[in-house]
A and B are shown apart, each in its own frame.
Chain A
Amino acid sequence: MSGDPGKDDKKPETPGTGAGGASGPTGASNPGSAGTAFGPQEIARRDVSGSTAGRAREGMFGIQGSGDTTGFGGLRLPGYAPAPAERPYGGWFDEVADEAAAALADDTDAPGVDFDTCVHQVTVDRGEMTWYVDREHLVRLARTLRDDPALRFEFCSGVSGVDYGEGVPQQLHVVVHLLSMTYRRRLRLEVALELDDAHCPSLVDVYPTADWHERETWDMFGIVFDGHPSLTRILMPDDWNGHPQLKSYPLGGIPVEYHDAEIPPPDQRRAYT
């Protein structure tokens, strides 16, 4: 949580790049940017790991090497990193953070693990609070959030994943949405993972509803939930290869002829993003 967001820090090599190439064609998620447009050296990296959430951008339409002289190609945007929130967070956010810190401090089962150890960044954005959690402490934190009388996040809305794309450090995120029906509050827990070490502890013991959600996240992103009772594919067939929601997994599709013009499949059309 400390220090500058570090948007200008450039890191020559990012861990996700090598592993990403193995699972699918590089840059297939966005051929408009043709893979090379956003090389690893362009990617901003935060000194606080796990909260970079977006790739850096260059040029206006993601088009390279066209001899353009208008200056569109000169645009440089760093990768987005959600800013850590400063106290006071506002509303009930402070209360929940304080209560969680007190509950973790009182927990005699694991002395020495306090709030700052579990949660390395708190972000408040658009009226929603996100805690970036270290995976080692996810289950313990969730159990505290569920059981503490002042917190009572007794309901888990869902667990899902996000792939922020190749070149982004810790590109895989596990997102858990919790709901306190008692206090009518919603909280998001986020765990950032490396693509080549996509392991996250399972929340099934704390929230049985996470069972199918975690199976879906495994199926779609290849994130292994350690401790899950039966982590099998759920939406794709059992013998499927690959994890479809990864950015390196191509969308597929065939060109379609329409009014004498050939329309390329959606993942090969020009992207302006």
Chain B
Amino acid sequence: MSTTHDDPARPDPYGASSRETTEGTVYTVTGGDWDEMVDQTAGDERIVINMGPQHPSTHGVLRLVLELQGEVVTDARLVIGYLHTGIEKNCEYRTWTQGVTFVTRADYLAPIFNETAYCLSTERLLGIEVPERAATIRVLLMEINRIGSHLVALATGGMELGALTGMTNGFREREEVLHLLEFLTGLRMNHAFVRPGGVVQDLPEGYEERIRSFITVMRERLPGFHKLLTGNRIWRQRLEGVGYLPVDGCLALGVTGPILRSAGLAWDLREVDPYLGYEHYDFEVPTETAADSFARYLLRVEEMNQSLRIIEQVLDRLEPGPVMIQDAKIAWPAKLSIGADGMGNSLEHVRQIMGQSMESLIHHFKLVTEGFKVPPGQAYVPIESPRGEMGAHLVSDGGTRPLRVHMRDPSFVNLQSAPAMSEGGMVSDVIAALASLDPVMGGCDR
């Protein structure tokens, strides 16, 4: 491969360039000009490569500093923080209900999980239990969301390894998930649908048919990944034995989720520490023992099937009932409904507060502007997100705003294991290992 421009009068503006620094020669390489740089640096054994933060294979704005000896990575350092948006700090200046809108944006591929962890923690501080139907709807949304998140993991992972059909298929299937979530919650992402005390409104009419047809479609399409990738020799050679991290490494580095289960430990909080009634559902926690990227790929596909099983059982379990706690001092006062101009206060509620009951108006105003008070104390509630233990550590000083919101995001913790997975391996395997971690930088940097 040669990309050298022959005409010296018109140098390639995108070609390789180099400059001298106190640290040595720094080269800027843009792609096809790799050969040129290798020629120039011949004889130098050690190269430090800066990959990202804008790079299609780093899974978001993640920067990798790789020290290479030939093609072998001797040292890998991760630089994060490019997507830090101060979500935790912002929550301290909003009411407990408004906080949902912020935390949902952290891990943007698993918004329902952020909301649920935050709300469960708030509810523990308040000492309340959500109604049965609200808990069941949360489980339903989380499992739909889990499928969507795993599909992106497969899609972007495939893309990063050059399996572009894996990407197009993955995103096509995810579109089904997003359509369904849009139908159920009104938004494709950043739903803010789960609120302290329950969920914001009941499921729309016709939800059951839509979800059942979604299950049918996914049952048809998920085996496609096995046909396309599982037996594919290139896919297997790129993933098998790559990104190895055994159980002791996982525990020492705090790694959870599919990565921990790929090492053989069946640790799934839905199973070992059930919340929201997960103990009532019949599902399996798939595990593998290879502890490599391929095992994690297999687990994600199987977990999607298990999620479909849970969704089916949720549909059978859903009983009519309230979706928000009945305590009027906590529950959002307006009965929200979808109108011609989107979601808003129901007409009935507006009539009541504007025309009939001044006390209702005062109550509505106080609860919406002031928020509810949460008794002082702290709570940490972990749930099983697609990437592992998603925990919300909330501290209240007794006011209407959180004193501290900390999201223990699995992307942040799991990323720490990337050097352990990739040092000593080929530079191309770094990509495969990272893809198997499935980090979401929005959650990592918050």
Tell me the A residues contacting B by CB distance below 8 Å.
29, 53-55, 57, 77, 80, 82, 125-128, 130, 154-158, 160, 162-165, 175, 177, 181, 184, 186, 188, 207-209, 211-213, 216, 220, 233-237, 244-245, 251, 266-267, 269, 271-273
Contacts and interface: CB of A to CB of B under 8 A. Distances in A.
28 contacts: A53-B395, A126-B125, A127-B124, A157-B382, A157-B389, A157-B408, A158-B391, A158-B393, A162-B403, A162-B404, A164-B397, A164-B403, A165-B403, A177-B391, A184-B272, A208-B252, A209-B416, A212-B413, A212-B415, A235-B81, A244-B86, A244-B89, A245-B88, A251-B89, A266-B90, A269-B93, A271-B401, A272-B399
A208 B413 CA distance: 11
A212 B81 contact: no
B94 A266 contact: yes
A157 B253 contact: no
B379 interface: yes
B113 interface: no
B70 interface: no
Interface in B370-401: 370-371, 376-380, 382, 389, 391, 393, 395, 397-401
Contacts of B254: 155-158, 207-209
Interface residues of B, number: 50
Contacts of B182: none
B406 interface: yes
A82 B378 CA distance: 10
Contacts of B377: 53, 80, 82, 125-126
Most buried by A among B272, B395, B403: B403
A134 B84 CA distance: 32
Interface of B: 80-81, 84, 86, 88-90, 92-94, 124-125, 127, 251-255, 265, 267, 272-273, 369-371, 376-380, 382, 389, 391, 393, 395, 397-401, 403-404, 406, 408, 412-413, 415-416, 445-446
A234 to B, nearest CB: 6
Nearest to B399: A273
Most buried by A among B81, B378, B400: B378
A216 B395 CA distance: 18
Nearest to A210: B254
User: Mostly helix, strand, loop or mixed at chain A's interface?
Assistant: loop
A28 to B, nearest CB: 11
B416 A211 contact: yes
Contacts of B255: 209
Nearest to B88: A245
Nearest to B80: A234
Given A158-B413, A188-B380, A211-B416, A126 B124 contact: yes
Contacts of A186: 380, 382
A245 B404 CA distance: 9
A54 B89 contact: no
A126 B376 CA distance: 11
Nearest to B377: A125
Contacts of B376: 53-54, 80
A207 B408 contact: no
Nearest 7 A/B pairs, CB to CB = A209-B254, A273-B399, A54-B397, A80-B376, A235-B81, A272-B370, A235-B84
A55 B395 CA distance: 13
Nearest to B409: A158
Contacts of A154: 251
A222 B403 CA distance: 18
Nearest to B121: A126
A119 to B, nearest CB: 17
Contacts of A80: 376-377, 397-398
B400 A272 contact: yes
Contacts of A130: 378
